[in-house]
Amino acid sequence: MILEIVFAAGCFWGVEKNFEKIPGVVEVTSGYAGGNYDNPDYHQVLANKDDNQVFNSLDLLKKIPWSDEEDEDDENNKKTNKNIINHAEVVKVVYDTKLVSTEFLIKNFWELHDPTQIDGQGNDKGNNYRSAIYWTNDEQKKIALSTKDEYQALLNKKGFGEIVTELKPLDKFWQAEDYHQDYLAKNPNGYCPNHKTGIKFANQG
């Protein structure tokens, strides 16, 4: 059976690369999910990463000579952003259950980042870098919740805090821009930090 599930674990470049290496994974696509506005793009998701610093992350855009009308639009956007739930950088993983189990993929997710970090991973700060699982069926939900408890017990033994991962059904997945797809395959020396806790499930190797 071919299924899909969506994960968020920091910058999607490294997460995409991680899941693409797993046998049984058919396709991995970088994108956005978990927010409440349509057609998100990379700049919007960055702009909304911190309610108190909207647009501050877009320093590169400050070099562009905006018109007065555009400046007014930005001010209006800042006011309306108070009601925005931002999207996270995510990857949609399509997989063949005959070759890889849902449990293996979800356990891999827990191990590839630090799920106790709130709104970020390492130096990547902001709600767009939050930890999340967005499932597409009840079996995935069951496994996500049970493995969360299992991983929390392992984290507790090593002195880590509580898991803060967002766990909910997928509403809609929005595919990211083309230049984000297979980014590290195209740019082998690109940004790919390691945020693993080093804690593994007993049967995950």
Tens of pLDDT, residues 170-193: 999 999 999 999 988 898 888 888
Residue 11 annotated among the catalytic residues of the structure: yes
Domains recognised in the chain with CATH numbers: 2-34+90-186 (3.30.1060.10), 42-83 (no CATH)
Please tell me the number of Cα atoms within 13 Å of 131 on its side-chain side: 21
Kindly report, residue by residue over 124-167, the tens digit of the pLDDT.
899 999 999 999 999 999 999 999 999 999 999 999 999 999 99
3-class secondary structure for 36-88?
CCCCCCHHHHHHCCCCCCCCCCCHHHHHCCCCHHHHHHHHHHHHHHHHCCCCE
Q: Given 9, 11, 143, 170, which residue is catalytic?
A: 11
Contacts for 131 with CB less than 8 Å, ≥ 6 apart:
8, 9, 10, 113, 114, 115, 117, 121, 163, 164, 165, 166
Tens digit of each residue's pLDDT (9 = 90 or more) over 51-95: 533 333 333 333 333 334 444 444 444 444 568 899 999 999 999
The backbone torsions φ and ψ at residue 140, rounded to the nearest 5 degrees and listed phi first, read: -60, -40
Residue 14 predicted with pLDDT over 60: yes
Q: Rounded to two decimals, what is the model's pTM? A: 0.83
Position 191 scores a pLDDT of 82
**Nearest by Cα to 139 from 40, 46, 7, 4:** 4
pLDDT per residue as tens digits for the range 103-130: 999 999 999 999 999 999 988 899 999 9
Residue 194 has a pLDDT of 86
Mean predicted lDDT score pLDDT of the chain: 86
